Each structure stands twice: as C-alpha cells, then as structure tokens.
Amino acid sequence: MKYLALLLFLVSLSLACGSTPANTNTAAKAPAANAAPAGSKPSSLPPPSKEALVEFDRLGNEAWAKGDATYFENLLADNFVSYFGGKRGTKGDELRIIPENKCAIRSWTLDETQMLVIDADTAVVSYKSNIDGTCGDVVLPSPLRAATVWVRSGDSWKSIYHNSTPIVDPATFVPPPAKPATKSAEKPIPQKTINPNSPNEKRPPVVADQFTDLIAGLERQVWEAWKARDSAKLGALMAENVMFVDGFGGFLGSKDAVLASWLGPKCEIESVEISSPSVSLINPNVALMTFKGTAVGTCDGKKLFPFWETAVYRQEGSSWKLIFGFETPAS
C-alpha cells in the first residue's frame, strides 16, 4: 500500500540515499491535554502475530490495486498519518486517492517480513514488496521496502502509518532531481470539502509546542551524535530493540545493525539539520514525528542529500528513545 499514489511517484524516483540519524533524554510525558487516540487504552491482551499483521497488509495491497476504498475505511485508524514528498496526509486524503487507481497487477508478493513490538498496543511490520504490474501506462517500481505501524483499537488492529521506498544499490544510486520552483503548486483540498466531524477527516491530536520541541530536540541530538561519530551517545538515545528502514530500502533490525550502518562509512560532515518537524501521539507513551533531514558533507566520498524522515519515539521511564525510523529520498 501507499495507501498510495506513492507507487506512481516512486517510479520517477526509482533511485536516493542517506544516512540518518539525532543524545539523550529529557524526562517528560506527553501533555495531558493531548489525549491519546480513541481505542489506545493500554491493553493486557497479547501482541498480534506477525503473520496476522502482514496478512492485513497483503489484503490492503489487493484492495488498493482494485481501487477499493471501502476496505481502507476499516483498515486505517481515524488519525492515520501518511508522509510522502514532505506532505502529511490523513485517512480522508487516502480514501480520496484510492478510487482513482487504474491498475493491472499480475503478481504482488511480500517476503522478508519482520515485526517489532513497540508496546502491548503498538507494533511495526516491515517487508519486501515484489510487484509485477502497471497503473495506467506506468510500470510499478519493484522491489520496495515497506513498513506499517499498527495500533490496537478495541479488539482489532488498525494502520496508523505506512510508507515504502525502492530497494536500490547504494553504489549506483542517483538522487532525485530538485523540483523547479513553481507558482502553480498543487492546490490543497478546499476546506469546504472537509467535514471535521467525519472520522475520515480527523487529524492526529495536536501536541503542545513544548512536546514537539522535546521530540525534535532528541532527534537533533541523534543527528549531532551521528555527525560526531559518537557511538555511545547514539546508543543511549535508542531503544534496545530499534528498527530502521534506510533510504536505499535497506532493513536494519537491531541496535547493533543501525550503529554499524550509520557509523561504518567514513564521513566528513559539515552540518546537520532537521526541519519542519511535526509530532503526533500514537498513545501517551509513543510519539510519531515527521520531518526533513539534511546533512551537508560526504560519506565514503559521496555527497549526502536530504531525506523525508519518520521517527517513532517510545517513553521508557523518564526518557524518550528512538525505536523506529523510516526514510525516503527528498529532492
């Protein structure tokens, strides 16, 4: 799924890179005024099986290819977040896009499936998506690395975030060209077409500026620690069971793997920046932030370029730690 004009746009990217990365932790809870989404009350129920969540993704892929928005009415959480091309979208945005799909899919398989349990009511699945098909006259890119964040809602599981990025060879990767400035930018959906009382139009709970500053500040520390090649500081900022999907479509399933990937190349980095951070709460102890990450410099002699980034932080005692990240190429 992108849930997913995403796939069509990825055709034009079919190629981007990156390093990611933000020290530690400041004691803070999500402000009480920022209530967690309905249905996110802590549960004593066991986490779902990886197979069950991957099957939801598989069925979603089939529904997306058919332009069947009805399936996504139940699949997506009311406060679903999409993030592509630097734009955050909602459940309503996805439901408007899906019926426009005119696709012919010969095969679509998922393998290399992985699952990370964030807490009793939140989990991430990642997989390799192999597609043979077209939408209109565009051949869909394949393979992709995809990830979906799932949240428990009552006795069911719903997608609250999804993304995918092409799997490419870092040695031959070419970043997407910068888009020329234009005054005829894509027009936003007219406000009058949005019913704020409709579940499909609900935006994620808006968090206080101080909480956004907290999570963004931690992510900046991650990037600064990466710039300084400070393994100890990076490790202290991460959960022990961190998972990450990089801009080449590479999957990193452990803290050791993430640290090795981020610190292995020989890098000369002049500066790092995260811009336009936007934070929403998955539940009172889990926050999701989207932003643009930029590093100026080189790694292994190659010039670095920016990424659209998603970072999920989990509260552990008095600290918030990075537990999941996803990046896609930015121009």
Same-domain pairing of 165 and 272: no
Peptide bond into 143 cis (omega under 30): yes
Say how far apart CA 1 and CA 5 lie, in whole Å: 9
Same-domain pairing of 55 and 155: yes
pLDDT, residue 29, reads: 57
Same-domain pairing of 177 and 273: no
Same-domain pairing of 158 and 10: yes
pLDDT, residue 272, reads: 98
Say how far apart CA 33 and CA 235 lie, in whole Å: 31
Domain stops at, among 201, 231, 262: 201
35 within a domain of the structure (yes/no): no
Domain stops at, among 181, 201, 221: 201
Question: Whole-number mean pLDDT of the chain?
Answer: 83
Contact call for residues 218 and 26 (beta carbons, < 8 A): yes
Asked if pLDDT for residue 186 goes beyond 50, the answer is no
Same-domain pairing of 197 and 306: no
Report the domain count for the chain.
2
Same-domain pairing of 188 and 149: yes
Same-domain pairing of 300 and 324: yes
Same-domain pairing of 191 and 227: no
Percentage with pLDDT > 90 across the chain:
65
Same-domain pairing of 71 and 157: yes
11 within a domain of the structure (yes/no): yes
Highest mean predicted confidence (pLDDT) among 3-17, 167-181, 216-230: 216-230
- Domain with 195, as residue range(s), is 6-22+40-201
User: pLDDT grade, residue 177 (50/70/90)?
Assistant: confident
Residue carrying structure tokens 């620690």: 225
Asked if pLDDT for residue 23 goes beyond 90, the answer is no
pLDDT in tens, 264-295: 999 999 999 999 999 999 989 999 999 999 99
Asked if pLDDT for residue 38 goes beyond 70, the answer is no
pLDDT in tens, 122-165: 999 999 999 999 998 899 999 999 999 999 998 899 999 999 99
Q: What is the dihedral angle through the alpha carbons of 268, 260, 113, 115, rounded to the nearest 10 degrees?
A: -110
Asked if pLDDT for residue 91 goes beyond 70, the answer is yes
Q: Does the predicted TM-score (pTM) go above 0.75? A: yes
CATH number of domain containing 45? 3.10.450.50
Contact call for residues 212 and 206 (beta carbons, < 8 A): no
Domain stops at, among 201, 223, 239: 201
Say how far apart CA 21 and CA 33 lie, in whole Å: 30
Same-domain pairing of 47 and 194: yes
pLDDT, residue 44, reads: 62
